Amino acid sequence: MGFVVFASTIPETPAPLSEKTDAIVVLTGGTLRLEAGIGLLEAKAADRLFVSGVHRGVDVAELLRIQKRAPDRLQCCITLGHDAVDTDGNAQETAAWVKETGIGSIRLVTAGYHMPRSLLEFRAAMPGIRIVPHPVSPDHVKHESWYRYPGTAALIAGEYTKFILVWIRQTLRELVLGPEERL
């Protein structure tokens, strides 16, 4: 039952652009994420963009060239994180950047199927930070009829399993260690 509820409530609609944040955070690893993040920066949804989990050796100019954007207009406002290799790492890397820069709110850009677990990780890493979800929906992921597409069903089942494991890890940590303030 939990899986069906999870699959049926995957977010697909981003918050309106009128809901401003201090920064946009993009998690690498999927299609449309970076494109959406840069588009949000261009639309002035926030003044800064942090991209977490970027391959070492890639700089902002290269990233913008790949996205077919003019580096001179946006390069000043983009910071890359090169340390994260998974979602927990994205949350920790972003939390360090948020603390360093004094950011109070972020718009989190990732795939809709990845958003529930990302929010679990990010809220645990940054309990005092307002997080606005901004899901993107890759064409190959069929959210609305996931049960008809074996690839989408497997993707969502894997994500549900990871979500449950993160929830268990966080719950056990809190039971054993007590609530922890990270920021």
How many angstroms separate the CA atoms of 40 and 88, rounded? 24
94 within 8 A of 126, measured Cβ to Cβ: yes
Residues 101-110 pLDDT 10s: 999 999 999 9
* Mean pLDDT (the chain, rounded): 92
143 within 8 A of 10, measured Cβ to Cβ: yes
Residues 4-59 pLDDT 10s: 999 988 999 999 999 999 999 999 987 799 999 999 999 999 999 999 999 998 88
How many angstroms separate the CA atoms of 19 and 9, rounded? 22
**What domains can be seen in the chain, in order of their start residue?**
2-138+146-177 (3.40.50.620)
